[in-house]
Structure 1
Amino acid sequence: MSEPLLEIENLHLDIRTADGLAEILQGIDLSVESGETVALVGETGCGKSITAKSIMGLLPETATVPTGSLQFRGEDLLALPEKERNAYRGKQMGMIMQDPMTALNPVFTVGDYMTDVMKWQGTHKLGLSDWLSSKFTSNDSLRERAIEMLEEVQIAAPERVFESYPVELSGGMRQRVLIATALLSEPELLIADEPGTALDLTTEAKILELLQDLIDEKDMSVIYITHDLSIAKYISDTIYVMYAGEIVERAPAEELFDNPQHPYTIGLLDSIPSLSKPIGEGIAGELPDTLDRPQNCQFADRCPYSEPECREIYPARRETAPDHEVGCHLYTPEDAAAFDGELVDIGTPPAREQLENET
């Protein structure tokens, strides 16, 4: 098998707050092959967006990564100096931000925004003299490239939109601008962070269809972040289910819907509205406090199937079927052995006291 385009192993992430150390990500393992679309799903607050920002190197200054690796084409991005990491951000990895209403700067036109992005992508590795000469790069060529991309995302009047301010555009049009900007450098990996969240259902469906067409046309690798499993099934090859900063289940999209195994995944699927069944009550309870993470199963207090061992022993992920992993005590080592499965050790984060002493 060829080397994955992106491979995250045992990624732990903490953020220091006024109240203490918040444990945000706990042992994330995620892999994206060339040309593959991966969906990262889970409820609000589970850590999806911060995982995307970790990949892009857009973390707040108060964030620390005590352990883990994040490899892009075999290069560990976490070990690179900021200047070298910038060579990947925007150039080889693009990101569509969640809210088109706030992602665009209201004081710049779309044209200003897109051409500035192109200038940055072309100059971040240049020396001072080269950078100064690049300031005189033909604005006509940059304008031509921007308008070309606006046309590619099916904007009917790209020249007019190029000269427009964000406030003059609808939400759907702004989202198309963000998609066009993310694709300016033709990145190998595109991260789409819930691009339809702030849009009405009709506009969201059009944006989703546009994205799918672009993914197919350009054969990109994609991480699509969403809380909607039905969207994940439509757009992805593989689905990672995330809960409280952990991956609790991973499977091919069709397999996950046909054979969900983690109680959290089952609860998410039962929450999807359907004409053939009554509206579900959803999953009772709340996400655990990031300032006081339990050392056992994170879902135990909300799980309808929890047993005493769920509150005593951390559930290692197991492969219960080909390409299907689940972190749950309902699936014993004997169950995994029946499928020739293997335990997946996600590692243990350093003790809170150790981290506090180091800082």
Structure 2
Amino acid sequence: MRKRPEFESERERVQAGEIRFAIVGCGHIAGKHLEAIQQAEGAALAALCDPNLTRVSALAESWNVPAYAGMAEMLDREPDIDAVCICTPSGLHAELAIAAARAGKHLVIEKPLALCAEEAESIGEAAAAAGVKATVVHPNRYRPAIRHLKEALDRKMFGKLSHVNATVRWNRSQAYYDQAAWRGTVAMDGGVLMNQGIHSLDLLLWLFGPVAEVRSWVDTRIRNMEAEDTAIAALKFANGTLGVVEACTTVYEHNLEESLAVFGENGYVLIGGRTANWIKAWNCVKMPDEEIGRIMAEVEADPYGVPGHERIIADMVEAIRTGREPAVTLEEGARAVRLAWDIVRNGR
């Protein structure tokens, strides 16, 4: 790890961009946060926290930082922590985020922000009252293909849109759900929409605006779990655009595809692959062939770009340093939660 520079004052440290992060929850997703903190300029790892002492101690030793079983003790004993990454099961996000905010710590919260609208709103209220910055991890916004699509939509290149389509046709085996008692539960994990499909819902809201009407069907068709493993929804956006969402974890026996399709009066775009990183089709009468060719060549050469988690950590460093809001706001995270909840509630 990089050696931490020394500063004469806390203000000097923050202005210089030395923002110290702690990670709460050291399961699989914590690895992406560790890598992002290591790579992002101005970020440093200060501590790790997980009730599984064997796991957190081994990880902390490899990263040369202290380990804690509880967040309260960590924040009490490590006062130089600036921001906390919440990487626990989703059902714990609200409790931990609110406690960290009240302790004066900025927040990076894994998706979904919470498992219901009320908890999401409580996190927002706590962050606002404490005056801390907070963001939600929606890294798919930073995929090169998605960034190019966003730019084209902002330029109105496709004109009036007729409809859009988002699919998540993935596999999560029964063994995946059986590996931990909280997986697939309504209280701690949610189903395919809150867990896997939440990124697609965030993209739909970010790209096309708020949803005015939802009609849906959700069910637990194949997996032995409490929440849904399959969801189908028809959406009507506030601007009149129609949308379809299809999400499942029941595809046999590997992930098949994740896609986003956009259809307008001037053309269409299909972004797909096993993950929605590749441009499968781009046809737009308002864009020169040379521009379309350049976009497709850039994405083909580097479909992943800078990892989204790294972009989110770097954005939080800059937000804390300058006082601006993070690029992905709590309200945007809450909108995705509300849409997922509306689909489930209307579809049962």
Sort the TM-score into its range (normalised by shorter chain). 0.3 to 0.5
TM-score, normalised by the number of residues in structure 1: 0.32
TM-score, normalised by the number of residues in structure 2: 0.32
For the pair shown, the structure with the greater C-alpha radius of gyration is 1
